[in-house]
Amino acid sequence: MEWHACLDEYEKLVIRMSTPRVVIDNGVCPTATLVKVDSARRHGILLDAVQVLTDLNLSIKKAYISSDGQWFMDVFHVTDLNGNKLTDESVISYIEQSIETTHCDRSHGFNGLTALELTGTDRIGLLSEVFAVLADLQCDVVDAKVWTHNGRIASLIFVKDCNSGSPIEDSQQIDKIEARLRNVLKGDNDIRSAKTTVSMAITHTERRLHQMMFADRDYERKPILEHKSELPTVTVQNWVERGYSVVNVQCKDRTKLLFDVVCTLTDMQYVVFHATIKTSGDKAYLVSVCLLKTSLCFLQEFYIRHRDGIPVSSEPERHRLIQCLQAAIERRASEGVRLELCTSDRQCLLADVTRTFRENGLNVTRAEISTTSDVALNVFYVTDATGNLADPKTIEAVRQKIGLGNLKVKELPSVYHQKAKPEEQQAVGVGGAVLLSLGSLVRRNLYNLGLIKSYS
């Protein structure tokens, strides 16, 4: 009996140590809510925490991450999208419970639907053809996300049978859906193999989109067009003495940016041991190395290794990591005009709307489709055929066709900064090149985590 009692206590201890502990504090910082997380370290724990916060559309203003031995500690300074601290007790309780019970590969609330995964070569009108095929095959689109990058498209579309309202399980129907969609995606000039997959289960939607585009090698970039925004600044250097690779990222801040970066590092099998993330409305600090006077800047520094404990070991690997991080940042940062559609849902709605875009020469670069209580809430980012901002007259013609009261327009500003001044670019280079003392970084992160006091 005593032996079994000891085993029970040991199991309880293991559970307590492996379960993340979350503390949410509104008293420390006057401008943000602090979310503190500590846990036994495991691969993906940082992504878990960031995923919960970004799924709530919270803005992460600062973050300090530190992994000391087998223990993981971090603190996030978060606000809502209006820049306010978190005061809703239901939101606070959800954050605590979700981080303590989260798993990276949990489903995202699409039970009872069939998930379609599509990748292929992007072109004007492709989305219109996809939705037309689904309507013809009696598939009701309930939810979807579409990303495009570097001439490629990746989409997750959640459907059910129009007649029964049930997920599509008939093998012959599934084969027909896959074949028809694959033909659409290939088109006449497909330079790579189009892929279609039907699944009854799905990981976190946006993480899966990153994985699909990564597998499709969208990061292998082609010559940048003149209208293309400036790339994010990413540097990767090895700190040989400590056995780390130091990754610095600088770009304009936006929602879910930290998730995109951490998701990519995690899926590329890198482990973040220490990191500092800071943003500011008129200035930003890269740890304590340099000051940049760029507006709304997002700066990150990560100390990483492979899961096997090895830092970046070759120049091709370093170059590939830079490409993949730049691609991860760009995928969600679509440029163009944001069109918001809110109307009663009906069969063929998406096919009709996207056909109108195609007929007016508009290219959909990103889309978010959702249906709630028979109301369609859809967002489309559109450009002209060359990737530039669409002509306002064309947009108005589309609105007249679809309905002025149903389709609203919001211009999406340029995603990244205008080119920095030469002296600022030099400062970034110096900041990326200087490798800080690990001891100093750990002490600073422990202070920011509230685990040690300042004696300055």
Q: Residue 163's domain is classified under what CATH number?
A: 3.30.70.260
Backbone dihedral angles phi then psi of residue 310, each to the nearest 5 degrees: -100, 135
Across the range 129-151, mean pLDDT stands at: 95
Distance CA 297, CA 292 (A): 8
CB atoms near residue 308 (< 10 Å): 7
Residue at 456 is within a domain:
no
Type of residue found at 114: T
**Partners of 455 in the beta sheet?**
none
What is d(CA 156, CA 116) in angstroms, rounded to the nearest whole number?
6
Residue 236 forms beta bridges with which residues? 247
Domain interval for residue 286? 2-106+226-332+420-448
CA 38 from centre of chain:
23
With a cut of 60, say whether residue 444 has pLDDT above it.
Answer: no
Q: Which helix (H) or strand (E) holds 296?
A: none
Give the pLDDT score at 299.
74
Take residue 130 and report the two structure tokens written for it.
Answer: 């996809």
Judge contact between 74 and 37, C-beta under 8 A. yes
Domains of the chain: total: 2
Residues 317 and 389 in one domain: no
pLDDT on residue 431: 42
Tell me what the pLDDT averaged over the chain comes to: 81
Query: Where residue 201 falls among pLDDT bands split at 50, 70, 90?
Result: low
Question: Region 120-145: what's the mean pLDDT?
Answer: 95
Share of the chain above pLDDT 90, in %: 55
**282 shares a domain with 148:** no
Q: Where do the DSSP E strands lie in 1-93?
A: 21-25, 33-40, 59-68, 71-79
pLDDT tens digit string along 358-413? 999 999 999 999 998 889 999 999 999 988 889 999 999 999 999 999 999 976 54
Read off the amino acid at residue 162.
Answer: C
Mention every residue, 6+ apart, whose C-beta is less than 8 A from residue 342. 375, 376, 377, 378, 406, 408
Distance CA(82)–CA(325), nearest Å, equals 28
d(CA 58, CA 203): 21
Residue with tokens 């530039």: 388
For the segment 236-262, the average pLDDT, to the nearest whole number, is: 90
- What is d(CA 184, CA 181) in angstroms, rounded to the nearest whole number? 5
- 289 with 430, same domain: the answer is yes
Regarding whether 48 and 71 lie in a shared domain, the answer is yes
* Statement to judge: residues 100 and 129 lie in one domain: no
Question: For residues 415 and 381, what is the distance between their CA atoms, to the nearest angstrom?
Answer: 13
Q: Is 213 within the bounds of a domain? A: no
Residues 425, 366, single domain; the answer is no
Which of 219, 254, 233, 249 has its CA nearest to residue 149?
Answer: 219
The total of other beta-carbon atoms located within 10 Å of residue 303's CB is: 26
226's tokens: 């003149």
pLDDT of residue 71: 85
Highest-confidence segment of 12-16, 80-84, 102-106: 80-84
- How far apart are alpha carbons 141 and 220 in whole angstroms? 31
Indicate whether 242 and 100 sit together in one domain: yes
Structural domain contains residue 67: yes
CA distance 450 to 34: 11
Burial of 76 (0-12, 13-18, 19+ CB in 10 A): buried
- Mean pLDDT, residues 113-125: 93
Average pLDDT over residues 307-325: 93
Q: What is the pLDDT of residue 182?
A: 92
Beta bridge partners of 75: 36, 64
* DSSP per position, 82-133: TSPPP--HHHHHHHHHHHHH--TT---S-TTSEEEEEEEE--TTHHHHHHHH
Rg of the chain over all Cα atoms, to the nearest angstrom: 23
Q: Is residue 221 part of a domain?
A: no
Q: Give me the sheet containing 297-306, strands edge to edge.
A: 21-25, 33-40, 71-79, 59-68, 270-280, 297-306, 244-252, 233-239
Answer yes or no: do 426 and 280 share one domain.
yes
Of residues 91, 111, 100, 105, the one with CA closest to residue 49: 100
Which residue in this structure is represented by tokens 């992007």? 122
Q: Which residue bears the tokens 């949410």?
A: 24
Rounded CA-CA distance 347/354 in Å is 13
pLDDT digits (tens, 9 = 90+) for 268-303: 999 999 999 988 653 333 332 222 333 456 678 899
Q: For residues 357 and 328, state if they share a domain.
A: no
Residue 453 lies in a domain: no
Once rounded to an integer, what is the mean pLDDT over residues 151-167? Answer: 92
- Kindly state the average pLDDT of the residues 170-186: 93
Residue 437: is its pLDDT beyond 70? no
Pair 260, 133 in one domain = no
The answer to whether 316 touches 386, Cβ cutoff 8 Å, is no
Place of tokens 């730049």: 326
Q: Is residue 454 part of a domain?
A: no
Instruction: For residue 455, tell me if it sits in a domain.
Output: no
Residues 233 and 328 in one domain: yes
Q: Is residue 214 part of a domain?
A: no
Residues 6+ apart with CB under 8 A from 54: 60, 255, 256, 258, 259
CA angle 356, 357, 360 (to 5 degrees): 85
Q: What are phi and psi of 305, to 5 degrees?
A: -145, 160
Q: The pTM is what?
A: 0.83
Coil, strand, or helix at residue 182?
Answer: helix
Burial classification of residue 366, based on how many CB atoms lie within 10 Å of its CB (0-12 exposed, 13-18 middle, 19 or more buried): buried
Residues 304, 255 share a domain: yes
Mean pLDDT of 111-133: 92
Residue 290, strand partner residues: 286
